[in-house]
């Protein structure tokens, strides 16, 4: 038998985690759990996820009509309901605005894959849904292509949404995604992002199956394993340094000969100018 009060407590606990992690600010974000075929618990509107109480949680039916709760349900519950309708195995949905993952969508940068083993195993594909004004059915419809092909998605210029069989799962996917995007941002700042080869990624997908995780659509559909392979390639050429000559490429922290020649030529030019100015 479903313990409704305990589920509401779990929603409040996830809300606090989101708030403490900085994944939501003020009254951002929303959380839901499908406790029966036609009943969904969800967070209310205009309420901080860091201070939720079980009594704040609303109950809606699968059309979005509120049937219980002292506060008004979130305006974005239709997004959650669309996921439940498209995938009956999903029991929990978390929508928030994790900074690093959201920054990728704001920058128009698709989140690259084939980089971290943990992301390949636990998340798999990370699609980006098109932008639509939040709240209405049109916004909810943006997630439909991905519900059965992923477990987390980036919402263009808005945030992220993740789903799973438990509230803990749905929260974990968000946390893993933002930690990954943070690592990508730091690595990109260092100058280069190295990738795992496609054969090694296929090994990871096979490993998932041995773990009992058989929901990776990339193997089922023979889809491309690696996306956004241009991200963080680490080229250093004449356009960047203004020194002319061959492009030169940073390989594993070492500079190729062509790039070294360009650097030496630039250093000599700067030295000549300084000496000339001193004369």
d(CA 32, CA 238): 52
pTM given for the model: 0.82
3-state per-residue secondary structure call for the chain: CCCHHHHHHHHHHHHHHHHHCCCCCCCCCEEEEEEECCEEEECECCCCHHHCCHHHCEEECCCCCEEECCCCECCCHHHHHHHHHHCCCCCEEEEECCHHHHHHHHCCCCCCCCCCHHHHHHCCCCCEECCCCCCCHHHHHCCHHHCCCCCEEEECCCEEEEEECCHHHHHHHHHHHHHHHHHHHHHHHHCCCCCCCHHHHHHHHHHHHHCCCCCCHHHHCCCCCCCCCCCCCCECCHHHHCCCCCCCEEECCEECHHHHHHHHHHHHHHHHHHHHHHC
Enumerate domains of the chain plus CATH numbers.
4-220 (3.40.225.10), 238-278 (no CATH)
In a structure prediction context, what are the per-residue pLDDT tens digits for the chain, which is 279 residues long? 789 999 999 999 999 999 999 999 999 999 999 999 999 999 999 999 999 999 999 999 999 999 999 999 999 999 999 999 999 999 999 999 999 999 999 999 999 999 999 999 999 999 999 999 999 999 999 999 999 999 999 999 999 999 999 999 999 999 999 999 999 999 999 999 999 999 999 899 888 888 777 667 776 666 678 999 899 886 443 333 333 333 344 343 343 444 556 656 666 666 666 666 555
d(CA 181, CA 99): 9
* Residues annotated as catalytic (active site), given as ranges: 76
């Amino acid at each position: 038998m479903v313990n409704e009060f305990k589920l509401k407590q779990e929603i409040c606990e996830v809300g606090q985690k989101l708030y403490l992690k900085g994944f939501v600010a003020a009254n951002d974000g929303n959380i839901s759990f499908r406790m029966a075929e036609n009943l969904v618990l969800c967070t209310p509107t205009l309420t901080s996820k860091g201070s939720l109480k079980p009594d704040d949680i609303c109950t809606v039916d699968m059309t979005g009509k509120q049937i219980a709760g002292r506060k008004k349900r979130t305006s974005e519950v239709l997004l959650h309901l669309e996921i439940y309708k498209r995938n009956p195995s999903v029991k929990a949905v978390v929508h928030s605005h994790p900074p690093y993952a959201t920054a990728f969508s704001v920058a128009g940068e698709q989140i690259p894959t084939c980089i971290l083993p943990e992301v390949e195993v636990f998340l798999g594909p990370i699609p980006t849904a098109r932008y639509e004004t939040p709240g209405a059915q049109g916004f909810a419809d943006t997630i439909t292509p991905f519900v059965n092909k992923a477990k987390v998605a980036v919402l263009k210029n808005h945030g992220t949404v993740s789903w799973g069989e438990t509230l803990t799962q749905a929260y974990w996917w968000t946390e893993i995604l933002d930690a990954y995007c943070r690592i990508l941002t730091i690595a990109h700042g260092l100058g280069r992002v190295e990738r795992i080869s496609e054969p090694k990624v296929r090994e990871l997908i096979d490993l998932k199956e041995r773990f009992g995780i058989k929901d990776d659509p990339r193997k089922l559909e023979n889809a491309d394993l690696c996306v956004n392979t241009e991200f963080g390639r680490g080229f250093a050429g004449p356009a960047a340094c203004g020194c002319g000559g061959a492009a030169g490429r940073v390989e594993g922290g070492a500079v190729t000969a062509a790039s070294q020649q360009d650097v030496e030529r630039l250093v000599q030019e700067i030295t000549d100018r300084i000496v000339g100015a001193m004369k």
